[in-house]
Structure 1
Amino acid sequence: MHHSTTHLSASVTVHAPIQKIWDYWTAPEHILRWNNPSDEWKTTSVENDVRTGGKFRYVMETNDGGGFTFEGQYDEVIPFEKLSSVHPNGRKTVNTFSVTADGVTITEIFEPEAGVPAADQQAFCAGVLKQFGDYVARH
């Protein structure tokens, strides 16, 4: 990671076995259903090749027709422990999965995108993690 960059992070603890958490986090049919920070967003397309060197591409859209594509390539995949990826513009994101007495804590640490307020990016990430936790709890 670039030492000059301020990193943002968010985390959530989910009460479920690590196998289920990993499956729900990485399987496209699940990602389509939880990968949004709020009801104003939806994920309409997911490709996810979960292996070192594999690529991912999530198309995210807002109800009013906006949106973006979240894509990149995994540079490190340790099943049930870590997913590290690099986006086309060189930004890195690292997700770690820690099994605790209370469940599994997922922590996402990422380099913020230039030109977008950091607080907005942090809130977006935290919102997605909360949605993931809620989704796992319901299914």
Structure 2
Amino acid sequence: MNPSAITVSATVDASLEKTWDYWTKPEHIVNWAFASDDWHCPKATNDATTGGKFSSTMAAKDGSMSFDFEGIYDEVIDHKKITYTIADGRKVEILFEGQNGKTLVTETFDPESMNPIEMQRGGWQAILDNFKKYTEGN
């Protein structure tokens, strides 16, 4: 990983199996892949295999803005690790670690150059927190 990589994490009160499923299945991704309540994820596709592609659309609910977050998986180790390259060339690593019925999810990503590091960390942490809330509530 890049020495300036950013790391965010959350402990999800759910089994490793459920956490993995909710992270990788499109029918769940559409329920959490956005940073705030005024955004949503109207569609997602995901082939969670090494070499597989993924895409999720993040959109403002008022229709003012949307973008596709997409890339290709470099490595997928079921229930343990995902690494991928975003369409803009940045690398991401996600680790899943079961801990007494809970799951620690740690994401490390290369920053982009347009926004401040703290803003990027905050945005990725907000999405991860949204994932945690959705997974624990369903």
CA distance in 2, matches of 1:102, 1:18: 7
Query: Which residue pairs with 2:130 in the alignment?
Result: 131
Alpha carbon RMSD of aligned pairs, Å?
1.2
Query: Which residue pairs with 2:12 in the alignment?
Result: 14
The code of the aligned residue for 2:12 comes to: V
Query: Which residue pairs with 2:21 in the alignment?
Result: 23
Q: Does the CA-based 8 Å contact 1:13-1:102 persist in structure 2?
A: no
Task: Please state how far the C-alpha of 1:102 moved relative to its aligned partner.
Answer: 6.1
Q: Does the CA-based 8 Å contact 1:47-1:57 persist in structure 2?
A: yes
Using the size of structure 1 for normalisation, the TM-score is 0.93
Query: Which residue pairs with 1:117 in the alignment?
Result: 116
Task: Please state how far the C-alpha of 1:87 moved relative to its aligned partner.
Answer: 1.3
> What SS does the aligned partner of 2:30 have?
helix
The one of 51, 54, 64 equivalent to 1:53 is: 51
Provide Cα deviations, 1:71-103, integer angstroms capped at 9, x if missing partner.
000000000000100012210011000111361
CA distance in 2, matches of 1:12, 1:106: 5
Provide Cα deviations, 1:97-121, integer angstroms capped at 9, x if missing partner.
0111361000000001111121111
Task: Please state how far the C-alpha of 1:40 moved relative to its aligned partner.
Answer: 1.5
Provide Cα deviations, 1:20-60, integer angstroms capped at 9, x if missing partner.
11110000010001111110211111010000000001111
Query: Which residue pairs with 2:69 in the alignment?
Result: 70
CA distance in 1, matches of 2:133, 2:86: 27
- Runs of 4+ that moved beyond 3 A: none
